[in-house]
Each structure stands twice: as C-alpha cells, then as structure tokens.
Amino acid sequence: MASCTSCFYTREFNRRFRDWKSDTAFRTHRQAVVRQQHLTMLAEENSPVKMLGAALWPASYPLQTAINKLLLGILDEEKLEGSSHFDIARWYLRIAWLFREINGGQDAHASPWILLRQQVEQKLGALKIDNERSAEHIRT
C-alpha cells in the first residue's frame, strides 16, 4: 500500500496505481471525487484517517504500519461510488494474516483439535528425546 505523507490517501501500489497520471478517465471522473471525500474525512476531528495516519511508523512498527495502511486503503475505497468489494475483502484478509504474524504465527481462534494435535506432537517429541537418551544410556 502506498500512502501520501501529507493527507494519508492510501491505495494499493500496483501497476494501475503507478499509471494513474496517464489514466484520463481516472483523472477526469474519479480523482476530484476521491480527493474531496478524502479531504472531508481528514478534516473531521478525531477522524480515523488522522488517527491511522499518525500511527504510520514503518521503521519502528512495520507490521502495525502495514495494518494501518490497509485500513486507510479500505476507508478510501469504501468512500468511492462503485467501490471494489473484491479489493476490500483482499485487504481485510491481508490484515488477518498480519495479525497472525504478530501473534507469532499462532491462530488466536484455533480449534480444540488443532491445539490437541500440537500438544500431542510436543509430547511425542519429548518421548522421542527420552527414548534416544535411554538407548544411548543402555549402550554405554
């Protein structure tokens, strides 16, 4: 996601975004609307745009900054007429992946079966180590 450092307008940094200057339809019909809606959100006191934008610290908090940029992109996309539900869904999914990464890859809502399997695998690993130690002790 690419964010403007002054107004925090955020968009997915893809080929279409990079070529927006040459996209006449975007500049003619969409850019003014997007700009006005975004500036209106930015002007509101305690707006989500201000709060999320103020918390963009990629060097210190890269995962949290990525989440905030995705949320800013979602806010901007939802304000558009004919917004892309597909893009919004993809960005929410990316946020879920980032939260899982923050939790060390652990799923906060893992099913009891997954947790039980993890416990069994840990116990089997401990038994394997004990078995190897016992076999080594018998040999000596």
pLDDT, tens only, 119-133: 788 888 888 888 888
3 - beta bridge partners? 10
- Residue percentage of the chain with pLDDT more than 90: 12
Is residue 71 over pLDDT 80? yes
Average pLDDT over residues 46-75: 88
31-43 vs 62-78: helix crossing angle, rounded to 10: 120
Structure tokens at 121: 């695998």
How would residue 110 be classed by pLDDT, with cut points 50, 70 and 90?
low
Is residue 95 over pLDDT 80? yes
Is residue 134 over pLDDT 60? yes
Q: Please provide the DSSP assignment of the chain as one string.
A: -EE-TTT--EE--SHHHHTGGG-HHIIIIIHHHHHHHHHHHHHSTT-HHHHHHHT--TTT-HHHHHHHHHHHHHHHHHTSTT--HHHHHHHHHHHHHHHHHHTTT--TT--HHHHHHHHHHHHHHHHHHHHHHHHHHHH-
pLDDT of 69 reads: 92
Q: Which residue has the higher pLDDT, 111 or 78?
A: 78
Q: Which residue has the higher pLDDT, 111 or 14?
A: 14
Residue type, 51: M
pLDDT of 67 reads: 92
